[in-house]
Structure 1
Amino acid sequence: MKFNDLKYLTAFLIPICALVGVSYPKYFSFLTPVFAFILIPIIELFTTENKTNLLEKEKVKKNKSKFFDFLLYLNLPLVYFILITALIQINQQDLSYLEILGLVVSIGIVLGSNGINVAHELGHRNDFWSQQVARLLLLPSHYTHFTLEHNYGHHAKVSTPEDPATAKLNQSLYSFWWTSSTGQYKNAWKIQKKLLNTKEASFFSLKNDMLINSFLQISYFTLLFLFFSWKIALLAIFMGIVGFLLLESINYLEHYALLRQQKKSGRYEPVKEIHSWNSNHLLGRIMLYELTRHSDHHYRANKKYQVLDYHSTSPELPYGYPTSILIAFIPLLWFALMNPRVPKEMKRSASKI
């Protein structure tokens, strides 16, 4: 491990902000969204992008290092500690509605950035424990179906009209939240059914991940209502909604209006580095475990976050993720900014849908 590898510790800045907000809600309940969506965009406006790639020998070393995996696994106890501490604090303290709102948004951001985002990385690993940690990280955001649909659905259908997680040209973020979240859930069940048929397994089987996920999700909701009041349980559910809406906002950025060309046979061209919007704004990159180098992730989905590459041929977001999300909240501004950047051949394909 090199000193430079410690840069990924910055991914814990958002949980730290949330902990400060939970500890001192009167003054800092909104610290996390302020840090994530005001301070980071300002910093990124005055910092240069980093487009350097690692040498092959460096990649080999970093692939073998357990340090990068440890950082991911550390998020599991941290996320649950922050979530439970926040719920206890809200339950025991006489907080104002504004302070509660700040904590709901703050914890939701943690569930999205350090929960779903880390689960996304671990969900691509084949080992049993990575898969289970991913499942537990998805649980508080009500997205336990994500890994199944993402790996078997999104990565296969990305940048096609058949993928609900690929935003269409001139589709607003708000419309996308609905079509993507509902579409992915439906797809997850369809994929599960096909997998069960392939394995000749029954619906009531341990091979039915969606059934297990549903049981875990219902158990999670039940525990919330048993250990807390119904009001606190509802707040936890809203925190999860904020978490998965953050994920869907990122999905919106990553593939907006990018389409693979369809061949005469009806099949689509292979996924390339040109089918995801890329971002090399350094702070956003390292805080999200290189998620913003999304082009290379889709090009080679088995690569670990610490060795993802920059491709000069990948379409680039003009701003980092936090700034881009803020712009996407204003659809007309987003369209004006992004539509001219969509490759012409993809725009022509999009207009036919």
Structure 2
Amino acid sequence: MNFGRKLGYFTAFILPALVITGYYLGGWWNFITVVDVFLILPLIDQSVGIDTTNVPKEKVKIISNELYYRFVTYVWTWFQLAFVGWGFYVIAFGNISTWFAWAGFILSFALVTGGVGITVAHELGHKKSSLERLYSKILLMTVSYIHFYIEHNRGHHVHVATPEDPATARKNETFYTFWIRSVFGGYTHAWKLENERLRKKGKHPLNIGNNMIWFTLLPLIFCGTITTGFSLWTGQFIWEIPVFFFGQSFVAFTLLELVNYVEHYGIQRKEVSPGRYERVTPIHSWNASHLISNFFLFQLQRHSDHHANAIKRYQVLDHYDESPQLPAGYPTMIIIALVPPLWFGMMNRRLEHWHTEHQNLKAA
């Protein structure tokens, strides 16, 4: 893989640079990252177009094992921790005095911790390495969504494109209805999965070995410790820190749920017998092989191959022509998803075509 493509994965660091720049310029400049992600990036993405090239099969193993690609995600993990620390510092000692500066800062901050950070956590959480899995949990802690580590790997990837999966949007379901089911249903299901794991080991779910207890408490402990430390330092309670932390967390995991909504909207696997479904293949997720946004998102948009081969590393994910294709990259599609009539008008026709071509299901 050429040097230019390798360097492309570092473009994600442009976003935190914009957040920092916007903060120090002040005022409405805090929205500069939002403008970049949802206006400038989509325009560049559409003009550059899609990239359907795949890594040659004889090179997949070599490129999969290259340390460089893991190094990028490791650097991001440590960088995000430092970035969140900087966020706490400027909230405690900086000057964000207007509501629009607050809104711009939190939205922009979440585009980093959620838009990129959760993407990196998703990549690392699928790997066998204990270090990578630890990094995944650390990143998810910074957005108060560590249960995603359990639900995504042991829930979503098992039940995707079936009625049992809370993270698969139904046809004609708005994002807002989906958000409620996916957020609360995913959290509840993660508890169920973890309780079942402990029962199989002969342990009671309510014990110190239940990961969901820790995954629920750790963001509270993290934020509480930071708030206490800064409050003692300044000699006054800094209530803005928990507002900032949980505010950016809310926006970050909402971005994740927007991506979930886009990735799986309306797709259904055939039920081959009661409660059993055909295996997941590259036709069971929406795909987007837009070159530029895939650099920012570590090829997450090649989602069809990811679900068919979850263990594959991001740098060797394949494009499949037979996968259902999104008309634009995620930055564009998640904005459209926020406007249900626009979303349904754009996607239902494509979904019906998918049903006809691949599932032979009667359109609802």
Change (3 A) 1:183 1:265: closer
Alpha-carbon distance between aligned partners in 2 of 1:172 and 1:223, rounded to the nearest angstrom: 38
Alpha-carbon distance between aligned partners in 2 of 1:27 and 1:260, rounded to the nearest angstrom: 46
Partner of 1:179: 181
Partner of 2:94: 93
Alpha-carbon distance between aligned partners in 1 of 2:130 and 2:209, rounded to the nearest angstrom: 13
Contact kept, 8 Å, 1:259 with 1:349, in 2: the verdict is no
Please list the CA deviations of residues 107-141 of structure 1 after superposition, one character each: whole Å capped at 9, or x if unmatched: 11111123211110000012211111111100121
Please list the CA deviations of residues 278-304 of structure 1 after superposition, one character each: whole Å capped at 9, or x if unmatched: 001101111100000000000011100
One-letter amino acid of the counterpart of residue 3, structure 1: F
Secondary structure (helix, strand or coil) at the match of 2:55 reads coil
Alpha-carbon distance between aligned partners in 2 of 1:173 and 1:205, rounded to the nearest angstrom: 36
Alpha-carbon distance between aligned partners in 1 of 2:334 and 2:227, rounded to the nearest angstrom: 33
Offset of residue 318 of structure 1: 0.5
Partner of 1:44: 45
Offset of residue 349 of structure 1: 6.7
Contact kept, 8 Å, 1:19 with 1:82, in 2: the verdict is no
* 2:82 is the counterpart of 1:73: no
Offset of residue 92 of structure 1: 2.1
TM-score by length of 2: 0.92
Partner of 2:234: none
* 2:278 is the counterpart of 1:269: yes
Alpha-carbon distance between aligned partners in 1 of 2:42 and 2:280, rounded to the nearest angstrom: 30
- Correspondence 1:1-353 to 2 at 5 A: 2-4=2-4, 5-26=6-27, 28-95=29-96, 96-203=98-205, 205=207, 207-226=209-228, 227-228=230-231, 229-342=238-351, 343-345=354-356, 348=361, 351=364
Please list the CA deviations of residues 34-92 of structure 1 after superposition, one character each: whole Å capped at 9, or x if unmatched: 11111011112212210010112321221111110110011122112222222322332
Alpha-carbon distance between aligned partners in 2 of 1:350 and 1:224, rounded to the nearest angstrom: 52
Offset of residue 185 of structure 1: 0.2
Q: Which ranges of structure 2 fall in alignment gaps of 5 or more residues?
A: 232-237
Secondary structure (helix, strand or coil) at the match of 2:193 reads helix
Contact kept, 8 Å, 1:173 with 1:331, in 2: the verdict is yes
Secondary structure (helix, strand or coil) at the match of 2:142 reads helix
Please list the CA deviations of residues 251-291 of structure 1 after superposition, one character each: whole Å capped at 9, or x if unmatched: 00000000001123431110111110000110111110000
Secondary structure (helix, strand or coil) at the match of 1:263 reads strand
Please list the CA deviations of residues 147-191 of structure 1 after superposition, one character each: whole Å capped at 9, or x if unmatched: 111010000000001100000101111111111111100000000
Contact kept, 8 Å, 1:124 with 1:302, in 2: the verdict is yes
Secondary structure (helix, strand or coil) at the match of 1:257 reads coil
Q: Which ranges of structure 1 fall in alignment gaps of 5 or more residues?
A: none
One-letter amino acid of the counterpart of residue 251, structure 1: N
Offset of residue 205 of structure 1: 4.8
Offset of residue 218 of structure 1: 2.5
Contact kept, 8 Å, 1:116 with 1:137, in 2: the verdict is yes
Change (3 A) 1:231 1:349: farther
Please list the CA deviations of residues 296-337 of structure 1 after superposition, one character each: whole Å capped at 9, or x if unmatched: 000011100010001111000011111111111110010010
Offset of residue 347 of structure 1: 8.8
One-letter amino acid of the counterpart of residue 73, structure 1: Y
Partner of 2:235: none
Offset of residue 215 of structure 1: 2.9
Change (3 A) 1:350 1:66: farther
One-letter amino acid of the counterpart of residue 221, structure 2: S
Change (3 A) 1:350 1:270: farther
Contact kept, 8 Å, 1:278 with 1:317, in 2: the verdict is yes
In percent, how many aligned pairs have the same letter? 36
Secondary structure (helix, strand or coil) at the match of 2:283 reads helix
Offset of residue 225 of structure 1: 3.2
Contact kept, 8 Å, 2:46 with 2:290, in 1: the verdict is no
Alpha-carbon distance between aligned partners in 2 of 1:116 and 1:86, rounded to the nearest angstrom: 17
RMSD between superposed Cα atoms in Å:
1.7
Alpha-carbon distance between aligned partners in 2 of 1:27 and 1:187, rounded to the nearest angstrom: 40
